[in-house]
Amino acid sequence: MTHHPLVTGMLLGLAVAIALLSAAGMAVIRNTYQRLHFSALVVSLSGGLIAVAVWIEQADAQARIKVILTVGLLFVMNSILTHATARAVRIRRTGSWDPQPDEHIEPLGQQPAAQRHSAGRRARRRRRGK
């Protein structure tokens, strides 16, 4: 007797439970940026469980390859879609993607202002020989 239907049923049931819990979490959380994290659960965990269930149930290599490629594509596209959504929300709220002056966010690759000023003072002292 094979246990394939039982195992695949459990895997698919767990995938559905994760998707439902993720949807409930998205409904409860108020912050838009935090809501974006709940979509990753569905794509990574549920998608992986569905891929394993198909891998167990189907002996056909073509079906296995298709499900692995589909889940892999969803996994990669989820991060791109999450970033694009967060960027669109920020632009809609602030009117620009760039950091606002009141946020005190240093551009990437630059030192914080306090370190820049102290580094500049040290360099001037060295040039003067002090």
Percent helix, strand and coil across the chain, each to the nearest 5: 80, 0, 20
Q: Would you state the pLDDT for residue 113?
A: 57
Q: How far apart are the first and last CA of the chain?
A: 86
DSSP 103: G
Report the percentage of the chain scoring pLDDT > 70.
80
Express each pLDDT in 7-43 by its tens digit. 999 999 999 999 999 999 989 988 888 888 888 888 8
In this predicted model, which residue has the larger pLDDT, 106 or 42?
42
* Domain layout of the chain by residue ranges: 4-99
Does pLDDT of 111 surpass 80?
no
Per-residue pLDDT, averaged over 62-86, amounts to 92
**8-21: b (≥16 Cβ within 10 Å) or e:** beebbeebeebbee
pLDDT at 48 over 90: yes
**94 has a pLDDT exceeding 60:** yes
Q: Is the pLDDT assigned to residue 122 strictly greater than 50?
A: yes
